Amino acid sequence: MSSELRRPPGTFDVLPTDSAAWEGLLVCFARTVESAGYGLILTPTFEDLAVFQRVGEATDIVRKEMYDFEDKGGRHVALRPEMTASVVRAFIEHHPPVPWKSWSAGSNFRFERPQAGRYREFHQLDIEAIGSADPDLDVEVIALGLEFYAAAGVTRVELLLNSLGDSTCRPAYRELLLAYLEEHRSGLCEDHRARLEDNPLRVLDCKKPACQKVVKGAPRQLDHLCEPCAAHFARVRAGLEALGIDYTIDTRLVRGLDYYTRTTFEYAGLALESAQNAVGGGGRYDGLVASMGGPDTPAIGFALGVERTLLAVEAEGGTARLTGGRGLDVFVVDFAGGDAGRDLTAALRGAGLRADRAYDGRSPKAQFRLADRSGARLALVVGPDEAAAGTVGVKDLLGDAEQVTVDRDEVVAEVRRRLGPPVRTGSS
Ligand code: HAM
């Protein structure tokens, strides 16, 4: 195959049956957040470039990693690098009543160096709660992420927590930090030495040893919060503690987007390599709606990386929890040559069972091979004898029990009896 017909670097295909874990994760997420009043929102995968420029012109995500281009109508558009800006754009455009709670799932695009857990097209599960500054909402949002991980089978998650202050206390802290970093400029990594003034806060979470050494002695935003921000953060901490949620204060957690105010948090998947173990993250963005031309409206949300979450599920050996109950119930093996296979499959599907069959008049042996490969629990067998007698052979494909014969009218009840009660995917 010529190289232009292969998938681009940093992208991947998810094939059946690997996709079962994806489906399980999505169902699990929808169930978790819908139980707290979040409704599904769909927004375009591309927007006017300006929508995303507002989330941080000094950030790598916007400056270096965006897939932006002029379309055939001469519009400068960009594939979304994250969901929040699109949701805020939709909020401003449709002005729904607040508080407005939405969830979404979809692809995002960042031109990054591909590696394990870092892709150019990746998927996020996202919630946004727009229109309330109440710190109890911060607790709800943070706790929902953890509830989802637990339901998905990711048990080793560390919650990292910080407050970045607001437009009252952040500018003064920024100056303080900048003054400190300027004093230590020669010790910073090359990149930050060159563009320190663009966004001094980014130095705090720079992974280069030089910056990390300098940052050790840097002033911390948490020690310089204004009174309302300090009270907000205290209430968030008290709420988490009341729910029995452990967290680690990380004063260097500034996150990769410019819009954050007050509470910021990240979920670290401890079963993953530390470089790529941020399985999700989020925070408050009380100034973003106004900066995008909407009314002054506080908001908070998070996005969880699907690929990294699945890597964490796998590392913890829990994939079966997501895929359980997702495969076929029965596979119809029909070598009677008449209508029985077609009609039996339709009747099973009509009764709500997950059923497949073979086509093209394959040999019994080939059909049994297909049945085994299909992952179905049971094979229903219709040979000439069964077709003549109005019966069906029922064979357990997972065990080695003998095939038994039941009346055609009894077959749905027999299948149900053998399958037992339905499995709820991802439930805790
Ligand atoms: P973010 O931290 O940029 O936040 O992304 C959230 C999650 O998406 C990360 O923790 C990671 O799991 C995943 N992720 C990011 N980049 C990649 C990549 N290149 N490959 C694979 N996974 C990746 C946001 O996007 C914010 N919009 C979150 C938010 C929502 N804040 C408030 N509301």
3-state secondary structure 205-258: CCCCHHHHHHHCCCCCHHHHCCHHHHHHHHHHHHHHHHCCCCCEECCCCCCCCC
Which of the pair, 58 or 425, is modelled with greater confidence?
58
| C-alpha–C-alpha distance, residues 136 and 142, integer Å | 10
What is the three-class DSSP state of 329?
A: coil
Question: Best substitution site from 124, 126, 158, 274 to test ligand 1's pocket, by max atoms within 8 Å of Cβ?
Answer: 124
Tell me: the pLDDT tens digits for 54-64?
888 878 888 89
**What pLDDT digit, counting tens, does each position of 97-122 carry?**
999 999 999 999 999 999 989 999 99
Nearest-CA residue for ligand 1 atom 16 is 118
Give the pair of three-digit tokens for residue 281: 């993250």
Which residue's alpha carbon is nearest to atom 8 within ligand 1? 305
* The predicted structure's pLDDT at residue 284: 98
pLDDT at 426 over 60: no
The reported pLDDT for the residue numbered 422 is: 66
List the chain domain ranges: 20-169+225-321, 330-419
The Cα 112–Cα 109 span in angstroms is 9
Better pLDDT: 3 or 19:
19
* Superfamily designation of domain 20-169+225-321: Bira Bifunctional Protein; Domain 2 (3.30.930.10)
Q: What is the pLDDT of residue 60?
A: 85
**Protein residues with CB under 6 Å of any ligand 1 atom:** 82-84, 110, 112, 117-119, 122, 124, 126, 128, 256-257, 278-283, 285, 301-303, 305, 307-308
Task: Give pLDDT tens digits for 364-390.
Answer: 999 999 999 998 999 999 999 999 999
Kindly list the strands in the beta sheet with 100-109, ordered across the sheet, starting from the edge strand earlier in the chain.
Answer: 39-40, 100-109, 121-130, 299-305, 278-284, 261-269, 157-163, 248-249
Please tell me the residue having the least CA distance from ligand 1 atom 15.
305
Reply yes or no on whether the pLDDT at 179 is more than 50: yes
* Most ligand 1 atoms within 8 A of CB, residue of 101, 122, 288, 311 to mutate: 122
Taking only the tens place, the pLDDT of each residue in 301-356 is 999 999 999 999 999 988 878 887 678 999 999 999 889 899 999 999 999 999 99
The per-residue pLDDT for range 259-318, each reduced to its tens digit, is: 999 999 999 999 998 888 999 999 999 999 999 999 999 999 999 999 999 999 999 988
| CATH H superfamily, domain 330-419 | Anticodon-binding domain (3.40.50.800)
**Residue 243 corresponds to which tokens in the numbers above?**
């729910």
pLDDT of residue 424: 53
- pTM equals 0.93
φ/ψ of residue 69, rounded to 5: -160, 165
Q: How far is the CA of 104 from the centre of ligand 1 (A)?
A: 13
Mean pLDDT of the chain: 94
Give the mutation target among 29, 54, 82, 260 for probing the ligand 1 site: most ligand atoms within 8 A of CB.
82
Quick one: DSSP state of residue 38? -
Q: Whose alpha carbon is nearest atom 18 of ligand 1?
A: 118
> What is the separation, in whole angstroms, between the first and last Cα of the chain?
45
pLDDT over threshold 60, residue 220? yes
Structure tokens at 408: 């055609």
Q: How many CB atoms lie within 10 A of CB 258?
A: 21
Question: Residue 256 Cα, ligand 1 centroid: separation in angstroms?
Answer: 9
**Percent residues over pLDDT 70 in the chain:** 98
162: pLDDT strictly greater than 50: yes
Quick one: pLDDT band at residue 423, thresholds 50, 70, 90?
low
325 three-class SS:
coil
Amino acid 337: pLDDT: 87
In the predicted structure, residue 428 carries a pLDDT above the cut 50: no
How far does residue 397's CA lie from ligand 1's centre (Å)? 42
Whole-number percent of the chain with pLDDT over 90: 84
